[in-house]
Amino acid sequence: MHLSLKNILVETEGHLQTITINRPSKLNALNQATIEELSTCIQAAENDPKVKVIIMTGAGKKAFVAGADISEFSNFSIEQGKALSQKGHHELFNLIDKLSKPVIAAVNGFALGGGLELALSAHVRVFAENALVGLPETSLGIIPGYGGTQRLAQIAGKGRAMHMILSAEMIDAAKALDYGITTSVVPQEDLAEAAIKMANKIMRNAPSALSKAIQCINASYAHKIDGFDYEINTFGSCFNTPEFKEGTMAFLEKRKANF
Ligand code: COA
């Protein structure tokens, strides 16, 4: 991949790609250039057979992402606001959510507004103990516009989404764990290792099954799709994959599957 990137760092080791949002002086706030770079890299990772899992994190010790870059939209009109949200949904947040490869958000420090929305679009979230997260948009006179009103309600429940969005309050890692916004909390110095450990666990499993599982879980939130029917058909489609043959043979031969 030959890309000139200013706002993110991309490292690939084996089958694991780590994408670091790298604007620490602005607490990694998501400006348009960063969103475009993230979109390009994630699309490239989707098409790269070497990449099996992606970790997203933020540079520095203070923030994952402190939100969309407020300085970029302070003078926007209705049309510009709508276009900003639409572009973000299509080019980045939905792209991540629907990716065929698992994405892990490793959240260090602040994940606010678009930052929490970015983490919510990932498939798995690992938080450092210093994580502080929230959707404070109503304090700026706007609402979450990168999927936060939908994904927070899906992940944490409607009541908690109402509480967090209407109060604009930040919550700490322990409360986020209690709300199901993250599934693990580790000391800050162990965050990278914890995310890699999770990635390695996932990478032991069949890539095609991972991709189908993501699609099926997402189907329960899609409109006009019966998730149960979707699961039945997708389950059936597993049975002509080489990975199914390898997984079941490995079990019967009492060895580890080699996907
Ligand atoms: N957009 C643009 N710039 C941002 C930003 C954002 N969402 N969040 C932080 N920054 C910038 C600050 O403007 C500051 O830049 P400067 O040094 O050029 O003035 C720099 O990042 C450091 O932030 P600062 O506010 O000085 O750090 P802090 O430790 O005092 O406060 C926060 C940290 C996260 C509480 C505070 O930065 C904040 O409230 N950010 C906005 C959060 C938000 O509302 N996000 C949702 C946006 S829709």
**CB-ligand 1 contact for 97 (6 Å cutoff):** no
Residues 132 and 152 sit within 8 Å (Cβ to Cβ): no
Q: Ligand 1 pocket, 68 CB below 6 A?
A: yes
SS3 213: helix
- Contact between 52 and 13 under an 8 Å Cβ cutoff? The reply is no
Multiple choice CATH, 2-190, 3.30.360.10, 3.90.1170.30, 3.30.310.50, 3.90.226.10: 3.90.226.10
In the residue annotation, 137 being an active-site residue is answered as yes
> What's the mean pLDDT in 217-239?
95
CA 117 to chain centre: 8
Question: Which residue ranges make up each domain of the chain?
Answer: 2-190
Express each pLDDT in 228-237 by its tens digit.
999 999 999 9
Secondary element (H or E) of residue 127: strand 124-128
Question: Which residue has the least CA distance to atom 16 on ligand 1?
Answer: 26
Distance CA 74, CA 26 (A): 16
Testing ligand 1's pocket by substitution, the residue of 26, 27, 61, 65 carrying the most ligand atoms inside 8 A of its CB is 27
> pLDDT at position 4, please?
75
In angstroms and rounded to an integer, the radius of gyration of the C-alpha atoms of the chain is: 19
207-219 helix and 227-237 helix, angle to the nearest 10 degrees: 170
pLDDT at 1 over 80: no
Q: pLDDT tens digits, residue range 48-103?
A: 999 999 999 999 999 999 999 999 999 999 999 999 999 999 999 999 999 999 99
Cα(131)–Cα(191) distance, rounded to whole angstroms?
11
35 pLDDT higher than 80:
yes
**101-144 residue pLDDT tens:** 999 999 999 999 999 999 999 999 999 999 999 999 999 999 99
The yes-or-no verdict on residue 3 having pLDDT over 80 is no
Helices (H), the chain: 32-47, 70-73, 78-88, 94-97, 114-121, 148-156, 158-167, 173-179, 191-203, 207-219, 227-237, 242-252
Residue 21 has pLDDT above 60, yes or no: yes
Q: Which of 117, 189, 246, 253 is catalytic?
A: 117
Indicate the pLDDT class of residue 22, thresholds 50, 70 and 90. Answer: very high
Q: Catalytic residue among 36, 37, 137, 243, which? A: 137
Q: Which residue's CA is the closest to the ligand 1 atom numbered 28?
A: 27
| Strand order through the sheet with 8-13 | 8-13, 16-21, 53-58, 103-107, 124-128, 184-186
